[in-house]
Amino acid sequence: MLKIVFSPATLPNRGVLVLTVATGQKLGEEGLRLDRKLGGVLKKAMAASTFSGAKEQLLTIVAPAKSRLSRLILVGLGDPIKASDVVMQRIGGTAMAALQGNKDTHAILLVDEFKGSSLPEGEAVAQAAFGARLRSYRFDKYRTKLKPDQKEHLKTLTVASAHAVKARKAYLSLDCIADGVFLTRDLVSEPPNIIYPETLAQQCNTLKSLGVKVEILDEKQMKKLGMGALLGVAQGSAKPGRLVTLSWQGNASAKDKRPVAFIGKGVTFDTGGISIKPAAGMEDMKWDMGGAGAVIGAMKALAGRKAKANVVGIVGLVENMPSGTAQRPGDIVTSMSGQTVEVINTDAEGRLVLCDAIWYAQEKFNPRCLIDLATLTGAIIISLGHEYAGLFSNDDTLSSQLIAAGKKVEEELWRFPMGDAYDKDIDSPAADMRNIGSGRGAGSITAAQFIYRFVKKGTPWAHLDIAGMAWQNRDKPVVPKGATAYGVRLLDRFVSDNIEGK
């Protein structure tokens, strides 16, 4: 794992240095000093290139004259006045991407000062370090024959700044958030023969060391509680289901002591069951537990940074498999709420897991609000691609808070409509409801309507369909391709902005 350290702004004599440059090829105080020391090589290189200092632009100078530096990398900051925390994270991530894949074991990122910066002293530097760490993630656990040029050699990144002390302090909580993000990425990246309901529940136990209370229910306990919807999904697998509760009590003096409840869909592998999926691409269904992974990672982040909030995370963990014991299309199951569901399609299983987990959360904790996350529908990808997650809610205030939090961390949400006409589409002549709508239209909305039937009156609720966001096939500045951990930073920011200290 990359080690990040902070130091005063100094110009190294050797190794690799990354330096921030503002738009218009403007150098900061340290950049000007370095340019003088190197005989004007920075200005000459910029003048001879298309590099302007625009956000995330890169210019590499190999073995610059009058120095023993192996490489000098300029990274564009853009307009310092517009350098928000997200911008600085992207700068750090862009710098890290430029450093990866080389022989260097150590590098220096010099975050130079520019007049008019909108961030407090040290905050910009801490955010750049945070972005660098987020981008440094790799999942090479099972690759035993990597060639030297495929391995990551960078072990330490020194982030240099005139405000190193303040930056180090500001980075402490960000580092805890990164720990939560990395846990989620690890869990989602693991193959399904390693991560299944029992082993994922065991991973939750690791949060006990941070002060999180962990309770794991087995199938016998869930059956006693009447969780027929969740257990119906689990019954086709040799791997028994689990329901895990993660409780963080960080604000004993809160006026409203009811916790915020995060609910995660944890289908550790989804074949579709008897309504089996096509073989092509089925290996991707290991990340159908991305919602549960995000909840677990968010709880680690909150506990790690000692958030002053009361939060509970509940994850329903199952494996959806076809077998002689699997539930069939046409089966009718009874949920914990007492409502009955006619199972029309066994591949619409996530909502069956969520409905019992959501009812359990309300019965046990009477939460101030409910937020569920799930890789729920392919229809949401048709609607939004891989740029936004879908948001469905019964509460305008909660929706606005989540959308605002998502913008601040670049985990964007787009709100969809709900209503009686959509709700009627899941009525069943044989049970209280069907688990899918009557046609192909509005599949994400009818899925949300199904979940909404298990939300008690008066409880603010939001459903985040993250099917298009849990995994990505291309690199982004702070998210390398693969498992994204979408939702961890969003939930953490939601708590920070709206719940902590209240």
DSSP result, 183-245: HHHHHHHS-TTTSSHHHHHHHHGGGGGGT-EEEEE-HHHHHHHT-HHHHHHHTTSSS--EEEE
Question: Is 351 an active-site residue?
Answer: yes
Task: Say yes or no to pLDDT of 146 above 90.
Answer: no
The pLDDT of residue 124 is: 94
DSSP assignment of 444-461 equals: HHHHHHHHHTTSPTT--E
| Torsion from C-alpha of 374, 375, 378, 384, nearest 10 degrees | 80
Task: Say yes or no to pLDDT of 114 above 80.
Answer: yes
What pLDDT band is residue 103 in, cutting at 50, 70 and 90? confident
The pLDDT of residue 501 is: 78
The pLDDT of residue 339 is: 98
What pLDDT band is residue 35 in, cutting at 50, 70 and 90? very high
Name which of 196-205, 250-259, 291-300 the model is least confident about.
250-259
232 contact partners, CB below 8 Å, separation of at least 6: 327, 331, 333, 343, 352
| 487 φ/ψ sector (left φ>0, alpha ψ -120 to 50, else beta) | left
Express each pLDDT in 1-28 by its tens digit: 899 999 998 888 788 999 999 999 999 9
Active-site choice (277, 364, 407, 415): 277
- CA 446 – CA 441 distance, rounded (Å): 9
Express each pLDDT in 445-483 by its tens digit: 999 999 999 999 999 999 999 999 999 999 999 999 999
For range 300-324, the mean pLDDT: 98
Go through the chain and tell me how many residues it has: 502
355 contact partners, CB below 8 Å, separation of at least 6: 229, 230, 335, 336, 337, 341, 450, 451, 453, 454
The pLDDT of residue 425 is: 97
- CA 30 – CA 19 distance, rounded (Å): 9
Domains and CATH numbers, the chain: 3-162 (3.40.220.10), 191-498 (3.40.630.10)
Residue 16 contacts residue 108 (beta carbons within 8 Å): yes
Name which of 121-125, 147-151, 468-472 the model is least confident about.
147-151
Percent of the chain with pLDDT over 90: 91
What pLDDT band is residue 66 in, cutting at 50, 70 and 90? confident
The pLDDT of residue 337 is: 98
Residue 356 contacts residue 264 (beta carbons within 8 Å): no
- Choose among 212, 340, 349: nearest CA to 273: 349
What pLDDT band is residue 153 in, cutting at 50, 70 and 90? confident
pTM of the model as a whole: 0.97
Residue 244 contacts residue 215 (beta carbons within 8 Å): yes
- Give me the chain's average pLDDT, please: 96
The neighbouring-strand residues paired with 214 are 246
- CA 172 – CA 120 distance, rounded (Å): 16
The pLDDT of residue 459 is: 98
Active-site choice (239, 351, 489, 493): 351
DSSP assignment of 277-330 equals: PPSTTGGGGGGGGHHHHHHHHHHHHHHHTT-SSEEEEEEEEEEE--STTS--TT
